[in-house]
């Protein structure tokens, strides 16, 4: 594949310019402009929806085996071009190159998984209450899927959504995040190369100024039968309200506020390793990152000491393309300013800075460790979304469960304990959709990903991921 950046939208198999002109994509590590990308309007979105609707009539009729073959080809092309994709991803997102390369593999895994799972998307035979009837169910694709993807995993989330939609027999209109459209457009080129038919995958980037216009067009279209979104709770709520008139299916993966609990029986070495991985992966800019770290008072000081030492030894800040870097920049100035304010206000309220707590220039923020954190401080009440670890002491299991569940979010939660009875109690008591027990890395294509409360609706990945893009139809036969 050519190293030339893809900057035009893909609609109905044609690479087009946006009626809104172009918008700049910048490298958050340097502030330099990387490229100018097609700024799509509601007009291009409507054309993409029409193209997807036309392509649906043919794509839905392909056998699952035929669709699976196309998905496996996409997987192969992703893996063949992983270095090119990872470099583009790192440039526009700031993510360290090793993480970006791993994300490409993560995206590819969903095409393999759903290629296989589509052939097992079974219906059922239901025992009939009458000898003159036979009852069965079948699963059928819903139609055109609108997929709105985030900047923090610009190829991983596209892979997770598109693979499931295509496997179920749907066609797609993808609206990537305005910070990271180049990765999405490169993915569109991969689909074209892999033989995905024209119109089955359409990609319409837009500037931040046009996000509401484009989002509203996707919500309002009666031809769009399902909308899948990963991003903030506030935007998810807006999309939810806009989809009401057309009664679409919705799959929403929204904000997180993950508790990370360390009990007295925990293996502290493993707990520190887990906290480091959960807190600082992608420079803390993930929805499942440890947001509030609760440590039992009897081991608090030792944990903090070990955690600080691990930060000193392991974390290296810099441009993602540089060798050995594992902490990149914050994605943009808006998010950077928000992070600075959260830390400043928490320190003003009494939190103690053990490490970091300062800007390193540009959009780089020093990995930060805060202690003395109270539950009413900004670092405990807001989703941090940055490399800031907030440590909160607790006295007993009952108290920490109450504190962990005191939030309107419920995406992920983690805890470390070697007490078998406690493991079961706490895993069941945490009001979240995903729990890591003595394990901080819970995402995989085989497992269902999704949360409770205001962290969203539905599941991605796993065998359940296909259900977001399918109708369950009941058929009653009289004999």
Nearest Cα residue to 325 out of 104, 98, 103, 32: 98
Distance CA 300, CA 228 (A): 41
200 Cβ neighbours under 8 A, 6+ residues apart: 52, 55, 59, 166, 171, 172, 191
> Please, is 398 exposed, middle or buried when counting C-beta atoms within 10 Å of its C-beta (0-12, 13-18, 19+)?
exposed
SS3 category, 295: strand
Q: Which residues are known to be catalytic? A: 253, 287
Query: Residue 175 corresponds to which tokens in the numbers above?
Result: 């609206």
Nearest Cα residue to 6 out of 80, 81, 73, 108: 81
Query: Residue 331 corresponds to which tokens in the numbers above?
Result: 């994605």
408 Cβ neighbours under 8 A, 6+ residues apart: 453, 454
Specify whether the CB–CB gap between 28 and 154 falls below 8 A: no
Distance CA 74, CA 108 (A): 8
| b/e burial code for range 189-226 (CB count within 10 A of at least 16 → b) | bbbbebebebbbbbbbbbbeebeebbbebbbebeebbb
Angle made by CA atoms 291, 297, 301, in degrees to the nearest 5: 85
Nearest Cα residue to 53 out of 167, 141, 119: 141
Backbone angles phi and psi of 447, in degrees to 5: -105, 145
Distance CA 375, CA 431 (A): 18
- Can you say whether the dihedral through the CA atoms of 474, 477, 478, 479 is positive or negative? negative
Distance CA 141, CA 286 (A): 30
């Amino acid at each position: 594949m050519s190293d030339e950046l893809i900057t035009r939208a893909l609609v109905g198999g044609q690479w087009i310019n946006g009626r809104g002109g172009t918008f700049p994509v910048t490298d958050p590590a340097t502030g330099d402009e990387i490229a100018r990308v097609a700024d799509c309007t509601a007009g291009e979105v409507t054309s993409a929806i029409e193209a997807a609707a036309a392509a649906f009539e043919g794509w839905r009729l392909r056998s699952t085996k035929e669709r699976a073959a196309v998905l496996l080809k996409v997987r192969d092309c992703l893996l063949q071009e992983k270095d090119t994709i990872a470099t583009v991803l790192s440039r526009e997102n700031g993510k360290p190159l090793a993480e970006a390369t791993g994300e490409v593999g993560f995206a590819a895994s969903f095409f393999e998984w759903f290629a296989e799972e589509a052939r097992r998307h079974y219906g059922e035979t239901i025992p009939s209450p009458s000898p003159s009837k036979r009852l069965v169910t079948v699963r059928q694709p819903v139609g055109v899927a609108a997929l709105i993807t985030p900047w923090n995993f610009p190829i991983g989330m596209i892979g997770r959504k598109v693979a499931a939609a295509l496997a179920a027999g749907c066609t797609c209109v993808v609206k990537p995040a305005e910070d990271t459209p180049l990765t999405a457009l490169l993915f569109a080129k991969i689909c074209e190369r892999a033989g995905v038919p024209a119109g089955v995958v359409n990609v319409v980037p837009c500037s931040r100024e046009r996000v509401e216009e484009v989002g509203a067009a996707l919500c309002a279209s009666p031809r769009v039968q399902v909308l899948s979104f990963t991003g903030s709770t506030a935007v998810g709520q807006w999309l939810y309200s806009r989809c009401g008139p057309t009664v679409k299916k919705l799959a929403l993966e929204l904000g997180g506020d993950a508790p990370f609990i360390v009990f007295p029986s925990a293996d502290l070495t493993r707990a520190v390793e887990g906290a480091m991985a959960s807190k600082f992966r992608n420079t803390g800019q993930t929805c499942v990152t440890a947001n509030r770290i609760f440590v039992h008072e009897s081991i608090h000081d030792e944990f903090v000491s070990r955690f600080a030492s691990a930060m000193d030894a392991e974390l290296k800040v810099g441009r993602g393309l540089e060798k050995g870097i594992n902490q990149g920049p914050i994605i943009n100035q808006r998010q950077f300013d928000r992070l600075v304010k959260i830390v400043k206000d928490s320190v003003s309220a009494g939190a103690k800075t053990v490490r970091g707590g300062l800007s390193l220039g540009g959009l780089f923020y020093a990995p930060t460790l805060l202690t003395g954190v109270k539950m009413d401080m900004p670092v405990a009440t807001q989703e941090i979304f940055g490399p800031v670890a907030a440590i909160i002491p607790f006295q007993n299991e009952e108290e920490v469960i109450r504190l962990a569940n005191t939030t309107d979010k419920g995406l992920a939660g983690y805890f470390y304990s070697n007490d078998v009875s406690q493991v079961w109690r706490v895993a069941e008591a945490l009001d979240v959709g995903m729990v890591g027990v003595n394990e901080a890395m819970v995402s995989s294509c085989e497992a269902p990903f999704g949360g409770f409360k205001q962290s969203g609706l539905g599941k991605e990945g796993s065998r359940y991921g296909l259900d977001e893009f399918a109708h369950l139809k009941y058929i009653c036969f009289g004999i």
